[in-house]
Structures are given as C-alpha cells and as structure tokens.
Structure 1
Amino acid sequence: MTDIFDAIQRTAKRIKKAIDVKDIGYSQQANSSGETQLQLDIQCDMIIEEEFSQVPSIHTIASEEKEKEVLLCETGKYFIAYDPLDGSSLVDVNLSVGSIFGIYEGAFEAKKMVASCYVVFGPRVEMVFAHNKTKLHLLQGEDFVFVKEIRLNNKGNINAPGGTQQNWEPYHKEMVDNFFAEGYRLRYSGGMVPDLHQILLKGGGLFSYPNTSDRPKGKLRKLFEVFPFAFAFKKAGGEATDGEFDLMELECFGIHETSQCFFGSKYEIKKVREVYANNR
C-alpha cells in the first residue's frame, strides 16, 4: 500500500503544476458520460496512468475519463478507480478542485475496497487518505506531512445539496429545507471534493446528491466517487447511504455505474434514512 500512497503523492504534485497554466481550454473529446473534456482532464488522466504504471502492485486501473479498464500488471493485486480532476470546470474561476482514488483488492467491488484517497487543490494542497483511519496530510514544499486524524461529530451544521432543485422529489426538498430550518448553513461549490472535504474538516453535516427527474439513477459514479468517499466517511466515524442501504453494501455492475448518495454525520444520515423509508 505504501507504493500506491507514494504514487498518489507524485501525481498530486504533478497535477498541481498542470493546473497552474494559462490555457485550460476544451478539447474535441468527450468522456464516458458524453461530457466535453478539458485539456486539463486529459492531462491529469495521463499523469495518473503514468505514475500508476510504475507500481507493480497495481493490477488494473479505471478512470472516469476512460471508457474501459486498463490492465497494468498481471501479477498486481490492487484495482484502482479514479477521477483525475473532479470539478475541473471550476478551475477557470479559481475554485477548489480535486482528485479521487478508490483502492480495491482483487476486483472493483465495494466490499473489496481497502483504502481510499482524495486530494484537494485549493489555496493549499491537502490529501486525505483513509485506510484504518482517515488522515489529513498537507503539501509543504515537495513533501506531504501528516496533520491529524479526521473524526466527525455526531451532528454537524453544514448542508451541501447537489442537483438542480426543480428536478428534486418534493420530499427531498422538504428534507433539505428542514435541515436549513434547524440552522444548517448552505455550503455548495459544485465540486464534490471541496464540499465533502469541508464537511469532514468542520466536523459534520450532510452532502446529498439524490436521484432526480433528469438523472433517475443519480449522477455520481460508484467506483470513482461514491465508494471512495463512503469509505473515508465511515472510517472517520460518519455514515453513507443511498437512502436505504449503506453505500458500501451496494453492488456495481459496470465501471461507470451511478447511484444517489448521502454522506454525513450519524445524525444527518439517520434523518435521511427516515425520510426515504417513508417515501419508497
């Protein structure tokens, strides 16, 4: 696992340099979801593949920017799914973006996840690695240094609701409004990594991305986004659900399969489950 951790640190430093360029224009290509890719998306994807190809313990990789899996080393045991640059459309307005990694042993299945990691590229470059615990690291000069273990409180005060409101189910909107009525603060940038990072570092809250009328099976991808953050939240003492089941109990039948998802402290996820149980 150390060799993978080191490789992710190398990718983070290279991606940080890639972000600091003048031209981040769109390419003529589209990713697996049909979204036009930024040149930066493609470059970050190449950086990660280059670094992972040097790690013999990595068997196969899957990227949000690639249609299919890529075999790297037949004798490796780890399967890594990653989103090279989540929120890349925010780069041109200088908001935080990030990279997400799900590390699986033997196959791309939630029950086989052994670690997850994400990197936040903001005013500072921070990396959160979840294995036995969820730990925060900070890039200082050329090295990442350990800062602290992340632990969530039982209840938070941040509400980060994803998706377009006009496409929400009425009961979901009522739930979101009820959290605001309790005094929760709206914190939503449009980037999954910075929004979930804020909830983790501020001690709790709720990030929600429900099924919507325009995306009836959710928007966020299980292998690249949902499972990695579910793993990190649970290791930090929080919870993650699809409204009914623990996200880490879900099966995945394709590398780009999506799911509605909710991440937060125990209090908020309990509320989510109650609301969704009454509206199945």
Structure 2
Amino acid sequence: MKTLAPIFEAIERSAHRIREAITNEDLCYGESCNATGDMQLKLDIQSDLIIAEEFSKITAIKAIASEEKKEAETLHPEGRYMIAYDPLDGSSLIDVDLSVGTIYGIYDGEFQAKNMLAAVYVVHGPRLEMVTAYKGGVRHYIFRHGRFQEQETLHLKEKGKLNGPGGTQQYWPPHHKKLIDGLFAEGYRLRYSGGMVPDLHQILIKGGGLFSYPGTADKPEGKLRKLFEVFPFAFVYETAGGEAIDDKGRRLLDLGCDDPHETTPCFLGSKYEIAKVKEAYGV
C-alpha cells in the first residue's frame, strides 16, 4: 500500500479538482471526438488534463492511457506503474444532474489484466465517494470534513436484488433477453442510469446483483472498453467476492488486450447471477 500511496493521493487531488469543474464549468461539447468516436464534452477533456497533470508529478508512474487519448503517453521512462483511466464516465448525465464517475486501473508493467495491482473508482454524486480494491479488500470512502474517511469494507452477497442491463434492447440476442426477463420475474429491481460507475456502485453498495453489457447486433464485441472500464471493475467485483465474465464464460481478468480501446461483452455480479448468465449463454 505504501508504494501506491502517492498514486492514491493523486487520485484524491484529481477527484477534488474534477468535482470543482463539474460544479462550475461549461457543459458544452468540444470540437473533437475521442478514440472511439464519441463526441467529447469540454468536461471530459478538462478531467483528462487534470488527471494527467496530477500523475505527471509522480516519478513512479511510467505511462498513462486514457479513454480520451488514442495512444498511451509515457510520463517517466524509468517508472514502474502504468495507469489506465476513464476520466469522466457517464459525462452525458451531468446536464440532468445524475451521478458520474472516474475509473482507474493500476498495473505493474504492461497494460494487461494479469498485471493489475489495484483498481479505484470515484463517484461524483450528492456526495464525493471513492472505492479502492487492493490486496484482498474493497474499501469505501466518503469525503467528509475536509478528507476522505474510510467507511466499511465492501462484500458482495451470494445473491443480490438489482439488475442493470446495458445495451439497446432491440439489438439484444434472444437468450440475453430471456436472461434479463427471468431475473425480473424473480423479483429483481431495475438499475440503469446510463453510467457504469453509478450502476455498478449501487449494486456493490447494496450487496449484489448483475450488471451486464452483452454483445449486440449493433455492437457484437460490446461497447465497454477493457482497459478503462471492464478490467478495473472486474478487479473490484472479484476482490469483493463476486465474479466477472464475458459472453463465452471466460474470466474477464484472463482476457488479453491488444489495443487500448478494445472492447468486450461483460457480466459482473454476485455468484448466483453469474451462474444464471452461464446457464443462459450455454457456457
């Protein structure tokens, strides 16, 4: 933990600066698209710059990769750690005042899931919150009285109550629709905001459920990016006692990654729900 402490401190500083930008800055779009073709809000760009600036101060960080950049950027060639991040997940929700977040994956060496040491995400909502997954524990922090104060250690139950299905329903494969409908028939409650951070955060805080983003007719390889979104949350959920797989039943953290913006179908949740996914997908 001590070796990563400067990185966690930089994430905290970034969280405060991004929070300030969300509160006070313009919400309009910039003049460019990110590497996957999404139009960039000025807040996306500003958040990316804030994080890069804070990380540039830490000589232990060798390189960073951002959802908003086409390629990884070397900061300190002699550094050890590589960090991939989504600076402002769900930024399109800001204009309707819903929670958004920032996602980080911290790697020892190359950007491969097998090298991940820790994952962190920050929730910008009614409260500023942070969740860290590192060495066997998922810890929850809330910003109060001028500092992040540790709350409980988070664990997923064997079975949850929330169902967060992503993707456009008209493009779902029939077996996926049957899976989702079956969970609702069991009494699961819908959780879908359009933001990965708030949806997965609620499932984690409430003790369990399923978040899914399948391969669809319009996006057969899924929409969510391995490095910036999928791997960090897979690390969080596994550390909390859950599971995280793709549509072939493979553990997400066993997948390779050949391009920073590579995507994958993903299913994250409690053990009961992941067993239901495997049954529905025949894997």
Q: Distance in 1 between matches of 2:140 and 2:52?
A: 24
Q: Distance in 1 between matches of 2:246 and 2:281?
A: 9
- The answer to whether structure 1 residue 182 and structure 2 residue 186 are counterparts is yes
- The answer to whether structure 1 residue 204 and structure 2 residue 208 are counterparts is yes
**27, 30, 41: which is aligned to 2:30?**
27
Query: What TM-score do you get using the length of structure 1 for normalisation?
Result: 0.98
SS at match of 2:24: coil
Match of 1:273? 278
SS at match of 1:213: coil
- The answer to whether structure 1 residue 252 and structure 2 residue 251 are counterparts is no
Q: Which amino acid aligns with 1:256?
A: H
- The answer to whether structure 1 residue 214 and structure 2 residue 218 are counterparts is yes
Match of 1:111? 114
- The answer to whether structure 1 residue 14 and structure 2 residue 23 are counterparts is no
1:198-217 alpha-carbon deviations (Å, 9 max, x no partner): 00000000000000011011
Match of 2:228? 224
Q: Distance in 1 between matches of 2:26 and 2:110?
A: 38
Q: What's the CA shift for 1:143?
A: 1.1
Q: Which amino acid aligns with 2:110?
A: A
Q: Which amino acid aligns with 2:246?
A: D
- The answer to whether structure 1 residue 73 and structure 2 residue 83 are counterparts is no
Q: Distance in 1 between matches of 2:97 and 2:145?
A: 21
Written as runs of structure 1 = structure 2, the 5 A alignment for 1:158-173 is 158-173=162-177
Q: Contact (CA 8 Å) 2:25, 2:43: kept in 1 or not?
A: no
Task: Return structure 1 stretches of 4+ with deviation > 2 angstroms.
Answer: none
**89, 103, 110: which is aligned to 1:86?**
89
Q: Which amino acid aligns with 2:257?
A: C
Q: Distance in 2 between matches of 1:44 and 1:131?
A: 24
Written as runs of structure 1 = structure 2, the 5 A alignment for 1:149-160 is 149-160=153-164
**235, 239, 264: which is aligned to 1:235?**
239
Q: Distance in 1 between matches of 2:59 and 2:143?
A: 25
Identical amino acids, percent of aligned pairs: 58
SS at match of 1:20: helix
Query: What TM-score do you get using the length of structure 2 for normalisation?
Result: 0.97
Q: What's the CA shift for 1:22?
A: 5.4
Match of 1:37? 40
Match of 1:143? 147
- The answer to whether structure 1 residue 192 and structure 2 residue 193 are counterparts is no
- The answer to whether structure 1 residue 124 and structure 2 residue 127 are counterparts is yes
Segments of structure 2 that go 5 or more residues without pairing to the other structure are none
Q: What's the CA shift for 1:141?
A: 3.5
> Cα RMSD (Å) of the superposition?
0.8
Segments of structure 1 that go 5 or more residues without pairing to the other structure are none
